[in-house]
Amino acid sequence: MIAPELEGERYATTHTHLAEVRERVEELGAEQAAAVEQAIAVSLHCHQHQSDRPSGAPYVEHPAEVARNVVRWCRPLATELVIAALLHDSVEDQHEILCALDGRSPADRHGAFDTIEARLGTRVRNLVAHLTNPEHAGPRTAAEKRAEYLAHIQELAAEDSDAYTVKLADLWTNALRLDGIADADKRSRLGLKYRPVLEDAATRLLEGPPPRLVGTAASMRTELLQAIARMDA
């Protein structure tokens, strides 16, 4: 699969992130680089027409940045984590597009996971499955949704340290930049969502960081605490 062409200044940051990912992955070997290239193509295909982020950045920039965080932080680096970072939102947001890649019907989450497994392997499927927010039936209050989100991330940390590592890379692009969101109401709502998650992560990075993040845990914790302090400013 060939990655779609994303042209113009609007996508300059996306291309910068992906260039760093490619450069780091090339050090792991040709086979690993080819797998990541396929994941880049799938990620761009899934997210290229998705609505912009709250910051106004094109959505494709987000998975590219999460993957960039993974290649910067993780030692030893594993290709599966980079691929999971690129695809971490793909099933949750765009399962119909994933299913269409292989002509799967019905176009549901299960079929999307099957597409990922067929193209990129069982470990990647499992990582993306862990990272995908669970589906819930029926209405819930905002407080219930926040509690479910925290519980999901705590479950990640307990069950799969690699998936939790990718989730931390995701949080860096979401929760640490709330002060850059112009809409005050949206900024406040997201702060309520992310603050308990950041506090939980800061404790974990101090007491028992994921194995691949041992070398960066102290600096990551400092950034988390600074982000929490900004929420109180």
Peptide bond into 106 cis (omega under 30): yes
Q: What is the pTM of this model?
A: 0.95
> Residue 177's pLDDT is what?
86
Alpha carbon distance 14, 165 (integer Å): 21
Pair 90, 45: CB distance under 8 Å: no
**Beta carbons within 8 Å of 186's beta carbon, 6+ residues apart:** 54
Banded pLDDT at 7 (limits 50, 70, 90): confident
pLDDT digits (tens, 9 = 90+) for 58-116: 999 999 999 999 999 999 999 999 999 999 999 998 999 999 999 999 999 999 999 99
- The CA distance from 67 to 174, in Å, is 14
* Residue 1 scores a pLDDT above 90: no
Do 195 and 202 touch, CB atoms closer than 8 A? no
**Amino acid type, 106:** P
Quote the mean pLDDT of the chain. Answer: 94
- The phi and psi torsions of 183 (rounded to 5 degrees) equal -75, 110
Please give the domain boundaries of the chain with CATH numbers for all domains: 9-232 (1.10.3210.10)
pLDDT above 80 for 55? no
Backbone φ and ψ for 125, nearest 5 degrees, come out as: -55, -45
Q: Give the pair of three-digit tokens for residue 80.
A: 């599966």
Q: For residue 197, what pLDDT band results from cuts at 50, 70 and 90? A: very high
From residue 222, how far is each of 200, 207, 226 by CA, in Å? 13, 14, 6
